[in-house]
Amino acid sequence: MLVVDLGQSGSRIRHLDVTTQTMRGKLNGEGVLEAFEAIFSELPKISVDQVALSCTGFSGVVTEPEKYLQLCNRFFNAKEVAVIDDGLAGFIGALKGSNGVVLSVGGGVVSVGGREGKFAHRDGLGSTFGDEGGGFWLGKLAISKALGIRQGRGDDQEMLDYFIDECTAFDLLAVKNTAEASTLAIRTAKKVLDAADAGVSTATAIVDEGAFLLAQTVVATWYGCGGTKADSPEIVIQGGPARNTTYSTKIALEINAKLPHAVVVESSGDNLDGATWIAENMRQDAPPLLLWAAL
């Protein structure tokens, strides 16, 4: 079996228990199929019967699995494909069936909750209208603030000094709203968190707002799968930006302000683990988060 986890800031591939990583993810404005076409063309030639795809970009609704089967058959001679929303893959990998919510924060944001077999999906709406608190959101807001300060629309000189390289990178963009600009924003996310840790006031305000918004997403997810304030769901906060201890702590505190009995736990696995388990054990469609196709 071949397992692929498509993200916005990169992708990971597992075959024969060996996991590799590529910087090629789903670009802003690119279709999921297009992204896989580009990634698969870079992989060594292999032949497998089954492919499991954990995918960003579905906004919680998987469609047209037959097209993914055709693609996987062309590249890998695959006879069967599981097309999985990355939120579900993350949920299964992280909580192994426990009641709770898995918040995955990368370039974008997706939150999936499960309670007694009922699932809920929140955010995953894309960078234009959603993904609040995620890497793109953090980086875009920081660069926007720094550019505004440079124009005299703000007075936090420390913020401008901290992000002067990003302002220069923005200046060098021939077109300011392309996939290249989105990549610049995503790559700036870690620096925003570092700036907040360093006490840069504007960056701290951005991080505080991001933590609040992400907590709101988690709470909405838990309520969406039938949970209540009185419950004690397990919460996993994972992904690149969440590796920043300050950010993950702030998110957890905001969650507990709304769900006082929620318990933040360590993830038991990742999207690749979840997609592997789903392919081996969830052999039927679970719309809208999982669809199968076979020859």
Domains and CATH numbers, the chain: 2-89+270-294 (3.30.420), 97-267 (3.30.420.40)
Instruction: List the pLDDT tens digit at each of the 295 positions of the chain.
Output: 999 999 887 899 999 999 999 999 998 789 999 999 999 999 999 999 999 999 988 888 999 999 999 999 999 999 999 999 988 998 999 998 799 999 989 889 999 999 998 889 999 888 889 999 999 999 999 999 999 999 999 999 999 999 999 999 999 999 998 889 999 999 999 999 999 999 999 999 999 999 999 999 999 999 999 999 999 999 999 989 999 999 999 999 999 999 999 999 999 998 999 999 999 999 999 888 999 999 9
Its pTM stands at 0.82
Q: What is the distance between the alpha carbons of residues 62 and 236, in angstroms, rounded to a whole number? A: 23
Q: Round to the nearest angstrom and report the end-to-end CA distance of the chain.
A: 16
